[in-house]
């Protein structure tokens, strides 16, 4: 019997347009999941309420945070992002909270498997996520040897994973587990948080707040690969489901179309990081989700081919 699958998307008002496009693409092209859980800041709930449907549930982030971690007032925003504070750790920025919430939410929801779909993704092709992720063994995405010892962020995150999990130092080049449409198994997550608590001597939530520089995907990947039990319950996959653009320079429609055209058919999603400020309508066109009557004939053809 296949495992039950749910989608998890943490987001905020700054990504509202990207999130709307994601929802359109999920509703049109993604199947095989029970629920799409969307987690937003409490004061963003009214902005996202319209996206609530039978399978899509909008939830406040306070449901998943401990009482000792509180959001700072909105006038203290940093680069448009919220800051959370407590007397137990240094202030935690919004993107750190989103990372932690993914773990906390997956531990609370009733499904056994979770696909994390950040709001800057768009589904380009029809895809059954249940067939991909619901089998006896969960897929574990790995980019082998992709992290060099001098990688400015990833190397530090890797070292912090070792410390948080109580593992020996990882040799470089190290494997990378960061990607898009990443699948987690609840039993592995549960044991991962127990390992963090055993290694650090504090609650896993506090340990992550005090660490700050970490990757939730690296944590999961390192834990699974170090656990014979959970390693046996996963299948290694080396092809990401998404074609991704991680740079800050915005893309125009032509460069987006070229990016998608080079992607193999196994890529079912397009991820364009929101900080690139690539126009949403360009992403919509290339993903084949623009309104046909709003496009010239050449654009209709390019958009349909990308899908």
Quote the pLDDT of residue 79: 63
Share of the chain above pLDDT 90, in %: 74
Q: What is the pLDDT of residues 277-295, one digit of tens each?
A: 889 999 999 999 976 544 4
76 pLDDT more than 70: no
Q: What is the pLDDT of residues 201-235, one digit of tens each?
A: 999 999 999 997 999 999 999 999 999 999 999 99
Among 71, 101, 131, the domain-final residue is 131
Quote the pLDDT of residue 91: 87
Quote the pLDDT of residue 29: 97
Residue 153 resides in a domain: no
Residue 207 resides in a domain: no
Q: Are residues 245 and 127 in the same domain?
A: no
- DSSP-assigned states of every residue in the chain: -PPPEEEEEE--GGGHHHHHHHHHHHHHHEES-SEEEEEE-GGGHHHHGGG--SSEEEEEGGGGS-TT-EEPPGGG-BTTB-EEE-SSSS-EEHHHHHHHHHHHHHHHSS-SEEEE--TTEEE-S-EEHHHHH-SSSEEEE-EEEEE-TT-TTHHHHHHHHHHHHT-PPPPSSEEE---SSEEEEHHHHHHHHHHHHHHHSS-HHHHHHHH-S--HHHHHHHHHHH-HHHHTTEEEE-S-SEEEE--SSPP-HHHHHHHHHTS-TT--EEEE-GGG---HHHHHHHTT-S-GGGS-HHHHHHHHHH-
Quote the pLDDT of residue 297: 36
Quote the pLDDT of residue 77: 64
Among 106, 131, 156, the domain-final residue is 131
- pLDDT band per the 50, 70, 90 thresholds, residue 304: very low
Mean residue pLDDT of the chain comes to: 90
Q: Are 245 and 217 in contact (CB under 8 A)?
A: no
**pTM of this structure:** 0.91
Distance from C-alpha of 151 to C-alpha of 277, rounded to nearest angstrom? 25
32 pLDDT more than 90: yes
- pLDDT band per the 50, 70, 90 thresholds, residue 246: confident
Among 109, 131, 153, the domain-final residue is 131
Number of structural domains in the chain: 2
Residue 89 resides in a domain: yes
Q: What is the pLDDT of residues 163-198, one digit of tens each?
A: 999 999 999 999 999 999 999 999 999 999 999 999
Structural domain including 307 reads 241-307
Quote the pLDDT of residue 253: 87
Residue 37 resides in a domain: yes
């Amino acid at each position: 019997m296949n495992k039950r699958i749910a989608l998890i998307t943490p987001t905020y008002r700054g990504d509202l347009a990207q999130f709307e496009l994601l929802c359109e693409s999920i509703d049109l092209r993604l199947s095989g999941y029970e629920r799409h859980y969307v987690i937003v800041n409490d004061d963003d709930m009214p902005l996202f309420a319209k996206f609530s449907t039978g399978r899509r549930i909008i939830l406040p982030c306070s449901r998943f945070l401990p009482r000792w971690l509180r959001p700072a007032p909105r006038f203290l925003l940093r680069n448009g992002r919220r800051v959370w504070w407590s007397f137990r750790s240094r202030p935690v920025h919004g993107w750190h909270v989103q990372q932690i919430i993914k773990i906390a939410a997956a531990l609370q929801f009733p499904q056994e498997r979770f696909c994390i779909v950040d709001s800057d993704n768009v589904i380009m092709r029809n895809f059954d996520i249940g067939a991909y992720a619901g089998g006896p063994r969960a897929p574990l995405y790995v980019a082998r040897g992709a992290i060099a010892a001098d990688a400015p962020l990833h190397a530090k995150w890797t070292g912090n994973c070792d410390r948080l999990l109580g593992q020996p130092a990882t040799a470089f080049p190290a494997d990378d587990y960061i990607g898009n449409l990443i699948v987690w198994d609840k039993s592995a997550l549960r044991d991962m948080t127990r390992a963090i608590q055993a290694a650090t001597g504090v609650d896993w939530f506090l340990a992550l707040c005090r660490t700050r520089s970490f990757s939730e995907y690296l944590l999961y990947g390192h834990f699974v690969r170090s656990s014979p039990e959970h390693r046996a319950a996963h299948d290694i996959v080396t092809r990401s489901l998404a074609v991704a653009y991680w740079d800050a320079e915005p893309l125009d429609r032509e460069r987006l179309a070229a990016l998608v055209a080079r992607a193999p058919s196994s890529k079912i999603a397009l991820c364009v990081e929101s900080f690139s400020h690539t126009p949403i309508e360009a992403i919509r066109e290339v993903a084949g989700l623009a309104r046909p009557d709003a496009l010239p004939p050449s654009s209709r053809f390019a958009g349909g081919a990308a899908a």
